A and B are shown apart, each in its own frame.
Chain A
Amino acid sequence: MDLGNLGLFKLMSRKMGWLTQRQEVLAQNIANADTPEYKSRDLKPFTFRDALTDNRRLTPSATNAAHLAGTRGPGGIAKDQKVRDPYETAPDGNNVILEDQMIRQGQTVMDYQTITNLYKKQVAMIKSAIRTGS
C-alpha cells in the first residue's frame, strides 16, 4: 500500500511542501531586509482548491546527461507574489519589516508542527488498525 496515494496523506504532504516553500520565501525576505529597493514577498495562501487540484508545474525530462535541470524544480508548488499592502516602506524602497516576517515565520513553523503531528497520528492509527487485525 502506498501511503502517498491516500487522500489525507497527499493533502498533508502538499501542505508541508507549501509551508517549506513559504519558509524559503520568508528567509529570502529577512536576508534582504537591508537591500535597497527590495520588495518583500509571500506565497499565495494555501486554499482548499489548491489542496484538491494538482497544479504542480511540469518539468521537462532530461534525456541526456548534459541537459540542465533548470532553476525551478518540481518543488515550485505555489506561486509567490509581492506583498500588496506593505505596512511601511523605508526611504530606500525596501518594505521588509522584520517583526512582520518573524510572525509569519512563527506561523509557518507552528503549522508545520501541526501537520507533522497529524501525520504521526494518522500513521499510528493505521498501525493500530493493522495490529488489531492480526
Chain B
Amino acid sequence: MDLYKAMAASAAGMKAQGTRLKVIAENLANINTTAETPGDLPYRRKVVVFQNVLDRQMGVDTVRVAKIDVDKRDFQRRYDPSHPSADADGYVLLPNVNSVVEAMDIREAQRSYEANLSAIDNARQMLTRTIDILRS
C-alpha cells in the first residue's frame, strides 16, 4: 500500500536526521578536545552528507546518510604556553568546531525531524480514515 511507502520514506528521513543530530552532539562534546602532545592534531569537526537513494523494493525515494566526513577548515589557535600540547611558539591548536554553527545545525535537524514526524502522522490519519469506512 502506498501510504506505507510514504511512512517508510518519512522514517528514513527521521533516521538520517537522527544521525545528523548524533554527529552534532559529538562535535559539541569535543569542542575543547586538544591534542595530547605537541605536533598532534586536535579533534576535527565531522559533517554528515545526505544522499537520495531509490529504495528498489518499495519504489520510493528515501534518504540516507552517505558518509560522515570531516570538515577541512583550519584549526583555531590560542596562545597558551603552559598547555602540554603547545608548540615552540606557545600556541595550542583548537578544534575547528564553532558552537554557533553547531547550534544552528541542530535547530535545522530538529525542524526536519519534526516535519517528517508530522508527515507520518498525516499518513496515519489517512490510513485511519480508510479503515473507518469499514466501520460504517
Binding site for B on A (CB under 8 A): 16-17, 19-21, 23-24, 26-28, 30-38, 71-73, 75, 98, 101-102, 105-106, 108-109, 112-113, 116, 119-120, 123-124
- A24/B60 in contact, CB under 8 A: yes
- B56/A32 in contact, CB under 8 A: no
Is chain A's binding surface mostly helix, strand, loop or mixed?
Answer: helix
- A23/B6 in contact, CB under 8 A: yes
10 A-B pairs with the lowest CB-CB distances in the bound complex, closest first: A31-B13, A27-B6, A71-B59, A24-B6, A120-B136, A116-B129, A20-B2, A35-B50, A27-B9, A28-B61
- B136/A123 in contact, CB under 8 A: yes
Query: Can you list 15 A-B pairs with a CB-CB distance of less than 8 A?
Result: A20-B126, A26-B119, A27-B123, A28-B62, A30-B115, A31-B61, A32-B13, A32-B61, A34-B108, A36-B50, A71-B57, A75-B2, A109-B126, A120-B132, A120-B133
Binding site for A on B (CB under 8 A): 1-3, 5-7, 9-10, 12-13, 16-17, 20, 50-52, 54, 56-57, 59-63, 108-109, 111-112, 115-116, 118-120, 122-123, 125-126, 129-130, 132-133, 136
- A109/B125 in contact, CB under 8 A: yes
Q: A24-B60, A109-B125, A116-B132 are in contact. List 19 more A-B contacts (CB 8 A).
A: A16-B130, A21-B2, A24-B2, A24-B3, A27-B7, A27-B10, A28-B60, A30-B119, A31-B9, A31-B63, A32-B61, A34-B109, A71-B57, A101-B115, A101-B119, A102-B115, A106-B122, A108-B126, A116-B130
Q: A101-B115, A102-B118 are in contact. Are A30 and B10 (CB under 8 A)?
A: yes
In angstroms, Cα B60 to Cα A30, docked, is 13
Residues of A within 8 A of B1 (CB): 20
In angstroms, Cα B9 to Cα A31, docked, is 6
Residues of A within 8 A of B13 (CB): 27, 30-33
Q: Chain B: which residue is nearest A112 at the CB level?
A: B126
Residues of A within 8 A of B6 (CB): 20, 23-24, 26-28
In angstroms, Cα B134 to Cα A23, docked, is 21
Residues of A within 8 A of B59 (CB): 71-73
Question: Which of A19, A106, A108, A116 is most buried by chain B, counting CB atoms within 10 A of its CB?
Answer: A116
Residues of B within 8 A of A108 (CB): 122, 126
- A34/B112 in contact, CB under 8 A: yes
In angstroms, Cα B5 to Cα A123, docked, is 29
- A98/B115 in contact, CB under 8 A: yes
